[in-house]
Amino acid sequence: LAAAGLGSWAVASKLQTSSTVKKTQKTTPKVNSGAPTFTLLAHTQPITSLAWSPTTPTVLVSAAKDSQVMLWDIAAFEQGQASQTTPKAKQVLGSTSTNSILLAWSADGQALAIGNAVFTVEPNGKLVDNNMLVLKKDLSGLVPYFNEQYMTFRRTGFIRTILWGPGKYLTAITFPAELASQEKYLMEFRDPLHPQQGFGTITQQGFGFSLAMPPDASKLAMGVFTGITVGEPMIAGHTASWKTTPTLLTFDGTKPLTNDGSKPPAGDVTWSPDGRYIAAITDPFFVPKYIQSQLAVWDAQQGDSSRNSLSLPDSSTILTRLAWSPAPTSTQLAAGSKDGSVYLWNVNPANPAGNALPVRTLTGPQQGAEVTTLAWSSDGRYLAAGYNDTNDSIQIWKV
């Protein structure tokens, strides 16, 4: 990491009246080991999403509430050939500051899906159609196969989260106006290469907050109101369903502030690089008023009984984002917090006792600036965090 905040050297050197020279004593300089390697400053509103290219580990794309999407070349920063205040490319979208722009790369790194990109008000002036765009990897324009008609989410005020997968499909959690009063949401699967085929949907009861997929793309994990749902979707044209009944993973419902003992809702969900383990945090929206912040890891094959709860720095910690390093065999799990810190755990899921504290803390741009998004580069060398601080910063650590 780049050294920052170096303390001054304390030098005690004094010549005596004789020829004897007293040895100089030095104190060790204080280095902020949690300081970022790079700080990107170009957005003008809080960061909403970060996504590293799956094929070029030094390419990062960012999105913010300023309705801008920016592409950054981290290799150029390493070589001193680019400014950390000027992106390599950018696109200005027709979004609004009320919704979060979402990003998802295609597996081959050739295209970038953008959720909540454009809003169109219907003729009655009351309902909104929501468009998802698919851009070329360099942000130079739309991919040739993009079809606006089939990539529009009708009467949908916002898309909660998106994921490119399983396979060719773009998966989204949406809340159409018709389902708002029923406490239901949709999982929508669209094939952007053949949009005319329409899309398949699965209607789910409750609320969906996040999506994650293991490296082999065999399953989906969703953060929902009762925990984490893990299932294997089957999609064929307009038809989508679960192959078998999804498994439910739950947090500890006996923790303080869970008033009625019900299972807490999940926020971010992430898979280990070998696809065996799932990690998740409780949804920060409900912390601390209703529940306590929790971080847990489960064995996806063994189910809910395998829950391994990890210790937070202290009882007041509120975790907001979570991401497991995708580097093969990596045990590094990163979590962003409400106060701007990013914590790193070395996870040992085989240890049933769990309860391990973070091994490292990375510092945010300012106290109280929430981590709004968190992402690892595909090789696990870089960790990026977006903030809602006064400078709308993106910090990158070389870890």
pTM above 0.85, yes or no: yes
Tokens of 178: 């018709």
Q: Are 285 and 274 in contact (CB under 8 A)?
A: no
Domain edges within the chain: 38-398
Q: Any bridge partners for residue 133, and if so which?
A: 114
Backbone angles phi, psi at 147, to 5 degrees: -130, 110
pLDDT of amino acid 249 = 98
Residue showing tokens 């064995």? 299
For the CA atoms of 309, 311, 315, 321, what is the dihedral angle to 10 degrees? -80
Q: Using CB atoms within 10 A of its CB, is residue 236 exposed (0-12), middle (13-18) or buried (19+)?
A: exposed
pLDDT of amino acid 261 = 63
pLDDT of amino acid 102 = 97
pLDDT of amino acid 260 = 62
Residue 1 CB coordination number (10 Å): 14
pLDDT of amino acid 11 = 24
> Average pLDDT of each block of 10 consecutive residues along the chain (399 residues)?
32 28 37 83 98 98 97 96 96 82 97 91 77 95 89 86 93 86 87 81 88 95 95 88 95 69 90 96 92 94 93 94 96 96 89 74 91 98 97 96
Residue 134 and residue 104: Cα distance in Å, rounded?
9
CATH superfamily, domain at 38-398: YVTN repeat-like/Quinoprotein amine dehydrogenase (2.130.10.10)
